[in-house]
Structure 1
Amino acid sequence: MSRHQHPDSPPADGLAMGVGAYALWGLLPLYFKLLQPVGAVEIVAHRVAWSLLLVLAIVALRRRLALWRSLLRQVRVLRLMAASATLIAVNWLVYVWAVNHAHVVAASLGYFLNPLVNVVLGLLVFGERLGRLQWTAIALAGAGVAVMAQAAPGGLWISLALALSFGFYGMVRKLAPIESLEGLATETLLLTPAALVYLVWLGVAGGLDFGQERGTDLLLMLSSVMTSVPLLLFAAAARRLRYSTLGLLQYIAPTLQFLLGVLAFGEPLTTRMLIAFALIWTGLAVFTAHALATHRRRRPAPAV
């Protein structure tokens, strides 16, 4: 720590990594819009296959292949990673489809809901107790979802699918005794056979977009970078920042997605949708204020 740095201030490199990870996730719609002519399943299949090659190279460069192989021999780890791989595949597929079918605002709502889904899962799965403010936050979010169901029922399934799939994904990853890099390598390894079978079938059927245009091919290959880099930045930031700081940064991604949907892509935003977002944002504010207050109370007093 720098001599002039306040002990409670986050490390500058960790903060930059955290902001970078969430900013990249928030700007992903711009990337997938470039691939709009390509089907969502093909995009995800390429994302999986090319990510496996990139992550395996990173694992090898970090000399962690032996550790990874030892983890692959553990049945419990494989079962949990099979579940997490399925959940993240569903999340990726819904997200790419939503972006390329003009539902970026609905997708952003899903990621705004995600922290509150995590609170509910903590209650139901891990037996965590909720305070009055947390229940208030959940009630506000529930009211927002109810309003959204009336305002834009066609997009609500997207929001709920993204929030639930990513919430359960986080829960499974919390239970799995594996680090983020090895976890991503395992998930992509498990998903790659299905991805390759689909791409081969698509090629035989004459519907494969890969190989038709050099620019599209390059974008599909670079999807591995767009998948792996934010995750690695996030993992590095998580080791350097307090959990409360990381929790605040997570709102960067859906905020950017929301702004892109409305300002860049011209998606409609009705009064009822604004009311739904206002209720959910208020719930998030209550939840965040409670989390920060709890963190301050639990922080040990400085030594005299």
Structure 2
Amino acid sequence: MSEATKGFWAMVAACVIWGLSGIYYKALSEVPPLEVLAHRTLWSLVFFGAVLAAQGRFAALAEALFGRETAMLALSALVISINWFGFIWSVQHGHAVEASLGYYIFPLVAVTLGVLAFGERMSRGQALAIGLAACAVALLTVELGRAPWIALLLAGTFGLYGLLKKRVAAGPIVSVTAEVALLAPFALGLIAAKHFGLFGMAPGSNAFGTDLRSSALLAFSGVLTGGPLMLFSYAARRVRLATVGLIQYLNPTLQFAVAVFVFGEPFTHAHALAFPLIWAALAVYSVVSLRGAAKAG
């Protein structure tokens, strides 16, 4: 098997895990999303710490945590924690369809942020794709009587996270480890407060340790977070960026399928009008990306 083929299947595996991860968070519906986020942070730190220890790269982690990029990493940590919380909350509260919409429109948000932040040029095809996505969002706003805030939050925070990561020199594993390390004191504080009954919380209200099922699921969040990221990093070094971009649509597609066919969330008339516009926008964007990659090659 060639390196490119290995990278392709690693990318597919990462997107399948991300796309089906809603099932995992739905299984933790009895645990408040903020507590799930705290455990995801801590167990991710354990997972990534073990990986860096095996690679002998703790020096790189120390440099990231105490070097010139600390402030940027702290900001990116805040942004990705908001994104993680938003996804967990949306799945637990019956908004997984809208969450999938957020990850569909993320590439278009990323293009817009690139224009605004870096002055990147937008092609006609990209402008058309963004226009179609904007029409879909406007349509949902009118039909539902509210803006699709969850989708916009997830797309916006993930796009901003990518923008911040462009300014970080550390590699993906080191930088994510630094981010969860910076978030860890807050995660520990929340869990301690629930355990000891601090700040008005009921003593012993934490989920971890109360039953084997919840404890095992919370501990597994580190693997669920770190595993696909390592697969993605492996794939990104072996697969063309245009291919990576196309395969990534597998993630929101599976999220959407899980929301409708597993969770039984309603697919309304508004969604039936808006989603085809989003899919058309992504089709245009994908054609433009493939043409650009072909010219560059």
Q: Identify whether the pair has TM-score above 0.5, normalized to the shorter chain.
A: yes
Partner residue, 2:44:
51
Contact 1:47/1:223 (8 A) holds in 2:
yes
Deviation for aligned residue 1:72: 2.4
Query: Which letter maps to 1:30?
Result: I
Q: Identify the match of residue 80 of structure 1 among 58, 72, 75.
A: 72
Pairing of 1:261-280 with structure 2 (within 5 A): 261-280=259-278
Q: How many residues align?
A: 291
Partner of 2:227: 229
2:165 maps to 1:165: no
Q: Deviations over 1:159-180 (max 9, x none)?
A: 0000000000011011111101
**Aligned counterpart, 1:241:** 239
CA distance in structure 1 between the partners assigned to 2:64 and 2:263 by the alignment: 43
CA contact (8 A) 2:140 2:146 kept: no
State how far apart, in whole Å, the 1-side matches of 2:230 and 2:64 are.
19
Alignment check: 8 A CA contact 2:64 2:175 kept: no
For 1:184, the equivalent position in structure 2 comes to 176
Corresponding residue of 2:206: 208
SS at match of 1:208: coil
Partner secondary structure for residue 210 of structure 2: coil
Deviations 1:4-51 (A, max 9, x none): xxxxxx811100110011110000011111111000000000000111
User: TM-score, normalised on structure 1?
Assistant: 0.93
Unmatched tracts of structure 1, length 5 or more: 3-9, 300-304
User: What letter is aligned with 2:173?
Assistant: L
Are positions 1:62 and 2:55 aligned together?
yes
Shift of 1:259: 0.6
Q: Give the Å deviation of 1:154.
A: 5.6
Q: What letter is aligned with 1:34?
A: A
- Counterpart amino acid of 2:50? A
The reply to whether residue 137 of structure 1 matches residue 135 of structure 2 is no
1:272: how far off?
1.8
Aligned-residue Cα RMSD (Å) equals: 1.3
Deviations 1:74-106 (A, max 9, x none): 12x111111110011000101000000111100
- The AA in structure 2 aligned to 1:115 is P
User: How much has 1:219 moved relative to structure 2?
Assistant: 0.4
Partner of 1:105: 97
The one-letter code of the counterpart of 1:15 is: F
Runs of 4+ in 1 over 4 A off after TM superposition: none
**1:194 and 2:186 are equivalent in the alignment:** yes
Match of 1:217 in 2: 215
CA distance in 2, matches of 1:153, 1:166: 25
Q: Which residue of 2 aligns with 1:284?
A: 282
Q: What letter is aligned with 1:194?
A: F
